Chains A and B, each alone.
Chain A
Amino acid sequence: DAKTTQPTSMDCAEGRAANLPCNHSTISGNEYVYWYRQIHSQGPQYIIHGLKNNETNEMASLIITEDRKSSTLILPHATLRDTAVYYCIVRRGTGTASKLTFGTGTRLQVTL
């Protein structure tokens, strides 16, 4: 699976949009971009995923560049409860061999 690069940490003011970037320049055509987050001492939580098109759900939006070499996760109105480590992962679709490989992620701190 392709390797991803994320900033180590970011700060965001509560109520503002948090934009978390991810580079995945070696992504293959059949690999999806997934985002998970992990709040301290809990299991990871799925946020969103996409292949080519931008995606939006109740938690976030995912913007994937046309060449698919990078993406941005957008939390439109960050709250203190969004403070967590956010992981960008590329992964072949589904199937038993399709592992999630976690990098170091971005530690997002939402402040008052």
Chain B
Amino acid sequence: GAVVSQHPSRVICKSGTSVKIECRSLDFQATTMFWYRQFPKQSLMLMATSNEGSKATYEQGVEKDKFLINHASLTLSTLTVTSAHPEDSSFYICSAETGMVEQYFGPGTRLTVT
């Protein structure tokens, strides 16, 4: 199956700083990428949908100025958590699809804000 990578896998940052997470589709071109957030013992919650070259569509309740998404190419999307706070600590997961039926997920990035 198709491979999606994320970098970094884990990151610890101080409160008030910004963190960038990369999501790459390694062996296919992704027309659409999705970003999810998962808190401990909870399910995945979709944060935003991004298409290459256009602005991301954010889910209700997700602050677009805090969670900056850039989808500059068909193989790369980035999520930047700006001015991170401890409540932003979570497991961030991206996924990508080609317009076919399946959506492929990355391994996730665990963010801890101290």
Contacts and interface: CB of A to CB of B under 8 A. Distances in A.
Given A44-B93, A99-B49, A94 B101 contact: yes
Interface residues on A, range: 20 to 34
Interface stretch (A9-17, A19-27, A64-72, A101-109): A101-109
Contacts of B102: 46, 49
Nearest to A100: B103
A96 B49 contact: yes
Chain B: interface secondary structure? strand
Nearest to A43: B105
A43 B99 contact: no
B107 A94 contact: no
Interface in B24-62: 31-32, 34, 36, 43-46, 49, 51
Interface residues of B, number: 28
Contact of B43 (A46, A93, A94, A103): A103
Contact of B46 (A32, A45, A93, A99): A99
Given A41-B91, A96-B49, A102-B43, A49 B101 contact: yes
A101 B49 CA distance: 12
Contact of B107 (A42, A95, A100): A42
Contacts of A99: 34, 46, 49
Interface string A39-64: 00111111001000000000000000
Given A43-B108, A100-B46, A105-B43, 9 more contacts: A42-B108, A43-B95, A43-B105, A43-B107, A44-B93, A87-B43, A96-B32, A102-B36, A103-B43
